[in-house]
Chains A and B, each alone.
Chain A
């Protein structure tokens, strides 16, 4: 592990909760309000860690294991992320498959814990989450397959810096990945993270019964996931930029923040989709990724 890789990891773990703050701030500003402080994410985490935890009688060990597994998978996934042109701390051929499966494992435990509570609301959220994931994961894999074919590499660390978005295929993939980012992180237009109505929740309703440190762990894991996806998209978009070695982490972090601002703008300006339309948007993303793959394979 090189120094740069350690630096990237530290930045990821430290700055992940900042993204949520950025998004909320942008949303508020667009709506004409001042919005919450940028460091609110950290305050929320500390507050939750200090609280006590309540477990329902109907839950089993799965419910208690869920936050730990989810956090573990998110942390491990960050180890696979290349940033700023620097290879990831852990990289090998086809490591993107491991990435997809790690995220899948986390999601599996989240869904299982939601079903474990025996509550119908959480079951509903679980089914929706599964539905979205079924459509979003193939898009990710198609997109990475296209990138891999185009650049000739098989690891995220070799593929990401080499794919320039000036080529139309990569542009299509960036667009597809942006849509998948919004879906995986339960952002508008797929899910409203600030809604209080259980009937309209997807991700929030799954973690409705978690409390205290458990909830804190889950919150931090979702921040890490958002950082992961934003860094991926930013890495694709900024790959042609050539910079001296000390500037690269700065560019990577700046890119990630810019993506977060973009997410904030989308949240503020675009209405949430009806549930029946969600497959349409995901199908569009999948179609774009498939077109990119076909163009590359030609």
Chain B
């Protein structure tokens, strides 16, 4: 736990724990934006010593898109739909915190077993990214509102981004930007879908979407 990158990853872990228990959508969106900023920093700092233009561009793109654009889109969608908080989530505060600790333990264990020789900067990048991925999946599964599920997907993508930094030194820039673009389109699609759902159903409680069965 000595290097700066280690502490950055600890901040990411704490932000995930905060996301798991945050009751209000606005706070959760801010936390996700913060995570995006941390991960953008990570992309620049992780391969220290080889600060290439490419790393800067991708890091900056990550910053802007994940730290600013996605929260903006999500906030707009939330304002349009009038969603403030996720009432009666499927797992409450204490249960979510407990699950968070279990997932953190799992992420640490899994991170040890994957033989990735890359992150000389820090041994914490992989576990922190895996934890972010698990947090995103948990939010998708254990929350009711459509927009919270969209938020969970964005956190999941944050984790995959960190995972990418931890596993591969150089994914071709085209692929990285393509992935970013695809996530952007996914957010737009989800935002529009959530809006349509709210219009049609007068709420966006996905637990109530049960007309198709069997």
Asked whether any CB of A lies within 8 Å of a CB of B in the complex, the reply is yes
Q: Which A residues contact B (CB, under 8 angstroms)?
A: 167-169, 279-280, 283-284, 286-287, 290-291, 294-295, 298
Q: Is A169 within 8 A of B98, CB to CB?
A: no
Query: Residue of A at shortest CB range from B10?
Result: A168
Q: Is B97 within 8 A of A284, CB to CB?
A: yes
Q: Is B31 an interface residue (CB 8 A)?
A: no
Chain B residues within an 8 Å CB radius of A290: 101, 104
**Cβ 8 A contact of B13, one of A167, A280, A291:** A291
What separation, in Å, do the CA atoms of A269 and B14 have in the docked complex?
25
Chain A residues within an 8 Å CB radius of B127: 298
Q: A interface, by DSSP: helix, strand, loop or mixed? A: helix
Q: B interface, by DSSP: helix, strand, loop or mixed? A: helix
CB<8 Å pairs between A and B, sample of 27: A168-B1, A168-B10, A169-B1, A279-B93, A279-B94, A280-B21, A280-B93, A280-B94, A283-B21, A283-B94, A283-B97, A283-B98, A284-B21, A284-B97, A287-B17, A287-B100, A287-B101, A291-B13, A291-B14, A291-B17, A294-B104, A294-B105, A294-B108, A295-B1, A295-B10, A298-B112, A298-B127
Q: Is B7 an interface residue (CB 8 A)?
A: yes
Determine how close the nearest CB of chain B comes to the CB of A292; give it in whole angstroms: 10
* B: number of interface residues (CB 8 Å): 19
Query: Residue of A at shortest CB range from B123?
Result: A298
Determine how close the nearest CB of chain A comes to the CB of B190; give it in whole angstroms: 29
Query: Residue of B at shortest CB range from A295?
Result: B1
Q: Is A291 within 8 A of B94, CB to CB?
A: no
What separation, in Å, do the CA atoms of A168 and B100 have in the docked complex?
19
- B13-62, CB < 8 A from A: 13-14, 17, 21
Determine how close the nearest CB of chain B comes to the CB of A125; give it in whole angstroms: 22
Given the known inter-chain contacts A280-B93, A290-B101, please indicate yes or no for A168 contacting B21, CB distance below 8 A.
no
Query: Residue of B at shortest CB range from A167?
Result: B1
What separation, in Å, do the CA atoms of A290 and B104 have in the docked complex?
10
Determine how close the nearest CB of chain B comes to the CB of A140; give it in whole angstroms: 16
What separation, in Å, do the CA atoms of A294 and B110 have in the docked complex?
13
Determine how close the nearest CB of chain B comes to the CB of A21; give it in whole angstroms: 36
Determine how close the nearest CB of chain B comes to the CB of A252; give it in whole angstroms: 27
What separation, in Å, do the CA atoms of A294 and B10 have in the docked complex?
12
Q: 7 shortest A-B CB distances, which residue pairs? A: A283-B94, A283-B97, A290-B101, A280-B93, A287-B97, A168-B10, A168-B1
Determine how close the nearest CB of chain B comes to the CB of A138; give it in whole angstroms: 11
Chain A residues within an 8 Å CB radius of B14: 291
Determine how close the nearest CB of chain B comes to the CB of A6; give it in whole angstroms: 38
Determine how close the nearest CB of chain A comes to the CB of B7; give it in whole angstroms: 6
Determine how close the nearest CB of chain B comes to the CB of A166; give it in whole angstroms: 10
What separation, in Å, do the CA atoms of A100 and B135 have in the docked complex?
33
Chain B residues within an 8 Å CB radius of A168: 1, 6-7, 10
Q: Is B101 within 8 A of A291, CB to CB?
A: yes
Chain A residues within an 8 Å CB radius of B21: 280, 283-284
What separation, in Å, do the CA atoms of A296 and B174 have in the docked complex?
39
Query: Residue of B at shortest CB range from A284?
Result: B97
Chain B residues within an 8 Å CB radius of A169: 1
Query: Residue of A at shortest CB range from B101?
Result: A290
Query: Residue of A at shortest CB range from B6?
Result: A168
Q: Is B93 within 8 A of A291, CB to CB?
A: no
User: Could you give, for residues 141-166 of chain B, a 1 whenever the CB lies within 8 Å of some chain A CB and a 0 otherwise?
Assistant: 00000000000000000000000000
Given the known inter-chain contacts A280-B93, A283-B93, A283-B97, please indicate yes or no for A298 contacting B17, CB distance below 8 A.
no
